[in-house]
Amino acid sequence: MQTTTNNRFDDLAIKGRVVYPTDSDWDVAHQAFSTLVDQRPEAMVFPVDESDVVTIVNYAREHGVRIAPQATAHNAGALGDLDDTIVVQTSQMQSVSIDPVAHRVSVDGQPLRDAAGSDVDDDGAGLLTEPRMYQLVRQRGPIADRLFTIEFQDRGAEAFAFTFG
């Protein structure tokens, strides 16, 4: 049972739920995989389908709110300071499907080669087959600013790119 009123995201119109620090289920909702991490965002958001995710991302963009995606509460420590952030916990998304979309990824205009993530080949070619987080690049060596490019072979494809670490 939620006990909050007039919270910042009350006008976020999604089918899933928004949980605030003052809600009775907050302790369960914001628990990270590691009990050593106490993530404290403004809210935890639990979308149930792809339209919820689109609504959340558009809402965040329009209201200047940061988003931290999280599928299983892993990697919570790397999220850092969560002030002015909502964690989008995708664990409630059970039956989402998409038409496969071919894509090619490059870094600084070059094929990935040894920087290829687990979801693309050495030339950066891959296929989006389901809505999930894809590992496209694994930067090895010194961390530096890079130009990361995703080219979709089909019209109408949309993606949200995130970096961790």
In a shared domain, residues 60 and 107: no
pLDDT at 141: 73
84 and 111 within one domain: no
- For residue 72, the model assigns a pLDDT of 61
Are residue 64 and residue 123 in the same domain, yes or no?
no
Residue 34 is predicted with a pLDDT of 62
| Residue 8 falls inside a structural domain | no
pLDDT of res. 95: 61
Same domain, yes or no: 69 and 112: no
In this structure, are 32 and 74 located in the same domain?
Answer: yes
Q: Are residues 81 and 117 in the same domain?
A: no
| 36 and 87 within one domain | yes
Residue (of 50, 72, 69, 62) closest to 9 by Cα position: 62
Q: Indicate if 87 and 107 belong to the same structural domain.
A: no
Q: In what order do the strands lie in the sheet with 43-46?
A: 17-19, 43-46, 85-89, 66-70
> Which residues, 6+ apart, have CB-to-CB distance to 150 below 8 Å?
103, 104, 105, 136, 159, 161
Domain of residue 51, residue span: 17-91
pLDDT for residue 76? 52
* Domain harbouring 39, CATH code: 3.30.43.10
Please give the pLDDT value at position 147.
Answer: 81
DSSP letter at 86 equals E
pLDDT on residue 70: 76
Which mean pLDDT values do the consecutive 10-residue runs of the chain (165 residues) have? Answer: 60 88 84 69 86 88 85 55 79 68 84 84 84 75 78 75 61
Domain count, the chain: 2
